[in-house]
Amino acid sequence: MAFDLVQYFTEQIKIQKPQLFKQYSIEEQNLYISEINALTLGKLINLWRQDEQKIYQEIQSQDQLYIQEVARHLTTAQSNQSTLPKSELESSTSDILSLQLNELKQLDDTGNYKISGMRELLLGQIEHLSGQAKDWVWSTNELNELIGSQRIEQEELSLEDTMKEFNHMVNNQHSDDTHVIAEPTVAEVPAWAKVLEPVVALVILWILYTALKAVF
């Protein structure tokens, strides 16, 4: 598995670009960094597939005009659903893309990746990007194979509700079982016993009569 550039870039953005989105809450900062990081890295992968020689040269040259062009293309795409203002979105996209290219160059210089190694590194990020952003990100950077990779929150809630309902049903069943009141068992009287009832009564009366007579 390739080195995880997604997480690595995220940490570097927070360290090297602390001014980005500082006016927003921590939750919003993390969201915007995650979205744009995935957006620009995915675009680099898509462009690499089209012309790896050109993108490798761009990694080496760090051409700011090229970076701005790519950032503007991503920002103005109709599929881009970022909630950031367009001007802020374009500048932050440019900043993050520039950081990514710079980090890739440093990795190449240090690890002597060359084109073959950089190809393996970049294409290996698809696995790390999977599920990291909403579909509009993949539609915008044209990394279409990742569309649908993020789990939908509603489905998770639905599963949770289903499990709660199941547990509730089991608990109710258990409660019903433990609160069953045992009904008294009534012994069935044989038919012959009913026939002998008068005889038995007469015998009892005779015994009582004899006992009383002996007393008096």
* Burial class of residue 5, CB neighbours in 10 A (0-12, 13-18, 19+): buried
> What local confidence, expressed as pLDDT, does residue 204 receive?
74
> What local confidence, expressed as pLDDT, does residue 154 receive?
46
Is the pTM higher than 0.95? The answer reads no
Contact 83, 180 (CB under 8 A): no
- The full set of domain ranges for the chain reads 5-152
Q: How far, in Å, CA of 96 to CA of 84, rounded?
A: 15
Contact 54, 41 (CB under 8 A): no
Tens of pLDDT along the chain (216 residues) come to 679 999 999 999 999 999 999 999 999 999 999 999 999 999 999 999 999 999 999 999 999 999 999 999 999 999 999 999 999 999 999 999 999 999 999 999 999 999 999 999 999 999 999 999 999 999 999 999 999 998 765 444 455 665 565 566 556 655 555 555 555 555 555 555 555 666 666 667 677 667 666 766
Answer positive or negative: Cα dihedral of 22, 24, 25, 28: negative
CA distances from 68 to 18, 73, 143 (A): 20, 8, 20
> What local confidence, expressed as pLDDT, does residue 155 receive?
45
> What local confidence, expressed as pLDDT, does residue 191 receive?
59
Residue type, 132: Q
Q: Where does the chain have alpha helices with state H?
A: 5-16, 26-50, 52-61, 64-76, 86-111, 114-123, 125-129, 135-141, 153-178, 191-215
